Amino acid sequence: MVRAFSPVVALHFILGMGWCFSCAETIGPPSSGAGSSMGVDGAAGGQRGRRESCDQQWQSAQSVWQTRDAQAFRMWRGIEQNCPQAATARQLLLEADQWYQKGLTLFENRDAVGARVAFERGARLAPIEPNHYFRLAKIYHRHGMVEKAGKYFEKYLRAVPDGDSSEEAGAALTEIARNSIDVLDPDQSEQAPPVGEPVSTLWWTLGAAAGIVLAAILWLVVRYRRGASLTGLIEKNATLHTAIAYLIGTMRHELLKHRIGPVADVATALSSGQITPAQEAYLRQKLFAGIGIDTAWQMHVRAFEQALGGQFNHRRDRQFRAAARAIDAVAAFQPKLLGISGPAVGQLSRAHDELRRFDRFLGDQLSLLVRTRIDKPFAKQVFEELRGEYAVSTVALDELSYEIGTSSVFIEVPRADLMVILKNILRNAIFAVRSNRENRRVQMALHTELQPTGDEVVRLYVRDSGLEPLTTEAIAGSDLNTGLGLVMAAVQRYNGTVEVQSAPAPYNKAVIVRFFRSLEEEEESLR
């Protein structure tokens, strides 16, 4: 399935206006256990009847969810308690709700990309609690997206007609509707400026024609000159890196791996002249079934342009232009896959090679996007900037040091954000030891650890000898206006975690930030 991505439009889809995730397939009804082989005695029959009823409830709850009906949530919650599926449903609803809540918070803070990712994660697990429609509608309204707000107020009212906020939603909807009608109010048209002296039809026609030509030229100029290529945009706008990384990842996985990948098999099978009907059917399905491959490409490109606020222009990007030509070449084979040979097969192979090149280009861009090298020079810079701060410089310390080996590691966090994270934790640690009469120590250390998944975990320890208590929960609950609140928000943004542990003497506690190591080739990130 192709996932087109525009943060705002996508949120709308995810939350029930037509988005079809594979979630209903991913969370299938749990196995009802080994089936009883007993005869149809009363107890077994009753047990089986109950099991069937449970299965039925679970299946219909899932089916309703697939249609994105707002009632799905109630059906999931309503599965009878003695059904084994009830616990599964509740657990999934709970887990999904954490993502939905996070998505709403992010969207509230205008992080539509982050919100979309969070909603996607929620939608992979379970339906959304209908009360969230109201909050979402209000956010859309605050963001000035009145039409979307109206749809979600309406959706909320349909799902929760007697809810606590129904009255407010109804009033908001009426207000939106009234404003909308005002536009078409016939009284307004009467206020149009009076028409001046009659002008000859010829002048009107010439004027209109000139206007159209000018508008067309302007449109063409804007269309081809606005925005930047992907590489250009990556270089000049670091704030878009996370969104670009997501868009690239989606395009590579959905389009280039799963749909373009089989093109090589098509070419090989055709050139050998031994393609079987089953193979042909499989390849045709991969390449051409559902959304056409050219339409899928256009959807991905549009997702790039919409999500990046029009700052990206695929027409200005040589790699995208070449890939678009290759996609057109592949799409041209749609009516006739069987029976082509010779030069046509060569053309298909060349298109595939071009798209493989494009995939490698995207992979290279992805590896460059959000990486920071943690090494001694980086640590030195963090400490120097910190020492330069007046409040920090007034604290006399017995130790302010870092322990970082000679080798460096990369993590997928932009340098500026990593600086903010570490400086805030270190500053907090320095202020924590300020009230000690002696033993005022702060140390930063780096450790990596290989996981059985092949990933490497990078842990940055900031240890201090301060006696003030600090807990993981306290950091997690910190207000965004505080340093640690900022740390928490920044770390979560890059899929990291923060926790507090006790530390060996002479320290008292350690704040530990965890990220995954970036395992691309290190030289690639040196631009």
Partner 1 sequence: MKQLLIIEDGHEYEEFARLFLGETFTIHAVHSAQAALAVLGDVAIDCLLVDLRFDRAIEADLVGEVDHLSQTLFAGNRSQALEYIKDNQGALVLAELRRAGHDQPAVFVHDFPKGKLANLQRLYGRLTAVPSFDAATIRAALLER
Residue list 361-400, contact with partner 1 (CB under 8 A):
363, 367
Q: Between residues 172 and 256, which has the closer beta carbon with respect to partner 1?
A: 256
Alpha-carbon distance of 70 to 153, in angstroms, equals 13
Alpha-carbon distance of 476 to 321, in angstroms, equals 46
Residue list 431-450, contact with partner 1 (CB under 8 A):
450
Q: Judged by CB under 8 A, which of 279, 381, 435, 482 binds partner 1?
A: 279
Stretch that binds partner 1, among 188-196, 210-218, 262-270, 323-331 (CB under 8 A): 262-270
Of 129, 137, 47, the residue nearest 96 (C-alpha): 129
Alpha-carbon distance of 284 to 50, in angstroms, equals 44
Looking at the DSSP bridge assignments, the partners of residue 441 are: 399
Return the structure tokens found at 428. Answer: 């907090």
Alpha-carbon distance of 22 to 164, in angstroms, equals 33
Q: Judged by CB under 8 A, which of 189, 394, 406, 453 binds partner 1?
A: 453
Whether residue 328 contacts residue 233, with contact meaning beta carbons closer than 8 Å, is answered with no
Q: Least distance (Å) from partner 1 to the CB of residue 269?
A: 8
Residue list 458-487, contact with partner 1 (CB under 8 A):
472, 476
CA 222 to chain centre: 29
Report which secondary-structure segment, H or E, holds 445: strand 441-450
Q: Maximum CA pair distance of the chain?
A: 96
Q: Judged by CB under 8 A, which of 66, 98, 205, 471 binds partner 1?
A: 98
Q: Least distance (Å) from partner 1 to the CB of residue 98?
A: 6
Stretch that binds partner 1, among 75-83, 118-126, 218-226, 390-398 (CB under 8 A): 118-126
CB atoms near residue 130 (< 10 Å): 20
Q: Between residues 256 and 486, which has the closer beta carbon with respect to partner 1?
A: 256
Of 350, 356, 339, the residue nearest 271 (C-alpha): 339
Beta-carbon contacts of residue 480 (< 8 Å; ≥ 6 apart): 486, 489
Stretch that binds partner 1, among 9-17, 178-186, 214-222, 272-280 (CB under 8 A): 272-280
Q: Least distance (Å) from partner 1 to the CB of residue 524?
A: 9
Alpha-carbon distance of 466 to 441, in angstroms, equals 8
Contact flag: residue 359 with partner 1 (CB under 8 A): yes
CA atoms within 13 A on the CB side of 196: 2
Q: Judged by CB under 8 A, which of 5, 99, 152, 383 binds partner 1?
A: 99
Contact flag: residue 300 with partner 1 (CB under 8 A): no
Q: Judged by CB under 8 A, which of 454, 479, 504, 526 binds partner 1?
A: 454
Residue 315 DSSP code:
G
Q: Judged by CB under 8 A, which of 74, 163, 175, 282 binds partner 1?
A: 282
Q: Judged by CB under 8 A, which of 125, 176, 369, 490 binds partner 1?
A: 125
Q: In angstroms, what is the C-alpha Rg of the chain?
A: 29
Q: Least distance (Å) from partner 1 to the CB of residue 385?
A: 27
CB atoms near residue 502 (< 10 Å): 9
Q: Least distance (Å) from partner 1 to the CB of residue 26?
A: 4
Stretch that binds partner 1, among 215-223, 255-263, 308-316, 395-403 (CB under 8 A): 255-263
CB atoms near residue 469 (< 10 Å): 10
Alpha-carbon distance of 199 to 218, in angstroms, equals 27
Contact flag: residue 129 with partner 1 (CB under 8 A): no
Residue list 6-25, contact with partner 1 (CB under 8 A):
22, 25
Q: Between residues 234 and 366, which has the closer beta carbon with respect to partner 1?
A: 366
Whether residue 92 contacts residue 126, with contact meaning beta carbons closer than 8 Å, is answered with yes
Residue list 500-519, contact with partner 1 (CB under 8 A):
514, 517-519
Q: Between residues 435 and 495, which has the closer beta carbon with respect to partner 1?
A: 495
Q: Judged by CB under 8 A, which of 84, 163, 232, 261 binds partner 1?
A: 261
Alpha-carbon distance of 241 to 413, in angstroms, equals 10
Contact flag: residue 33 with partner 1 (CB under 8 A): no
Contact flag: residue 95 with partner 1 (CB under 8 A): yes
Whether residue 510 contacts residue 521, with contact meaning beta carbons closer than 8 Å, is answered with no
CA distances from 29 to 14, 76, 85, 306, 517 (A): 22, 12, 7, 37, 36
- Compose the 61-80 pattern: x for residues touching partner 1 by CB under 8 A, - for all others: --------------------
Contact flag: residue 114 with partner 1 (CB under 8 A): no
Size of the site for partner 1 (CB under 8 A): 50
Bridge pairing between strands 399-403 and 409-411: unpaired
Contact flag: residue 85 with partner 1 (CB under 8 A): no
Whether residue 351 contacts residue 263, with contact meaning beta carbons closer than 8 Å, is answered with yes
Instruction: Return residues touching partner 1 (CB under 8 A).
Output: 22, 25-28, 30-31, 95, 98-99, 121, 124-125, 252, 256-258, 260-262, 264-265, 268, 276, 278-279, 282, 359, 363, 367, 450-457, 472, 476, 495, 497-499, 514, 517-521
